[in-house]
């Protein structure tokens, strides 16, 4: 693999960038990451992340980027409640559990904690593997606060 595939960098409005997608548990603790190029749609990361947990979740909380009929159909087939607000250009509005959707802020806070590390916030590493390595180190540090010493 050469060039932009190894780097997972793509052009977006802000220049060359990438997107970090995360699968997290109910407490907002990261379980898995998927890196895509900057211009890729969020829903492209769904297939890579949804099959990872050992136990099927009861609900999937995601932002508008994951609003697609294919994702909703896949979640319904797996008996997972889709808590995804509809995009503004949807013809038929889809309701979601607003109270449960407020729990998604845990994931945003987790990303904030990871971005305390400047190497993650500004993407210093050119290669995708190096960047994901830094993300995994930061994730290990984040998980330490949930581990209780005996």
**CA quadruple 15, 10, 127, 114: dihedral sign:** positive
Maximum pairwise Cα distance, the chain: 55
**CA quadruple 53, 55, 61, 64: dihedral sign:** positive
pLDDT reported for residue 150: 45
pLDDT reported for residue 103: 92
Give CA 111 to chain center in angstroms: 9
pLDDT reported for residue 61: 92
Phi-psi region of 47 (alpha: psi -120 to 50; beta: other; left: phi over 0): alpha
Residue 43, helix vs strand vs coil? helix
**CA quadruple 77, 53, 35, 146: dihedral sign:** positive
pLDDT reported for residue 12: 58
Question: CA-to-CA distance for 142 and 139, rounded, in angstroms?
Answer: 5
Confidence bin at 90 (pLDDT 50/70/90): confident
Question: CA-to-CA distance for 126 and 118, rounded, in angstroms?
Answer: 14
Mean pLDDT of 77-84: 92
pLDDT reported for residue 120: 86
């Amino acid at each position: 693999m050469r060039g932009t595939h190894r780097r997972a960098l793509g052009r977006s409005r802000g220049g060359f960038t990438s997107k970090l997608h995360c699968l997290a548990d109910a407490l907002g603790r990261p379980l898995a990451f998927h890196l895509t190029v900057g211009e890729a749609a969020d829903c492209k990361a769904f297939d890579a992340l949804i099959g990872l947990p050992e136990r099927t979740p009861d609900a999937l909380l995601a932002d508008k980027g994951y609003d697609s009929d294919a994702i909703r159909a896949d979640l319904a087939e797996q008996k997972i409640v889709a808590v995804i607000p509809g995009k503004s250009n949807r013809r038929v509005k889809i309701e979601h559990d607003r109270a449960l959707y407020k729990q998604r802020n845990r994931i945003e806070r987790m990303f904030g904690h990871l971005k305390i590390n400047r190497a993650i916030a500004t993407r210093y590493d050119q290669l995708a593997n190096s960047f994901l390595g830094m993300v995994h180190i930061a994730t290990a540090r984040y998980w330490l606060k949930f581990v209780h010493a005996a």
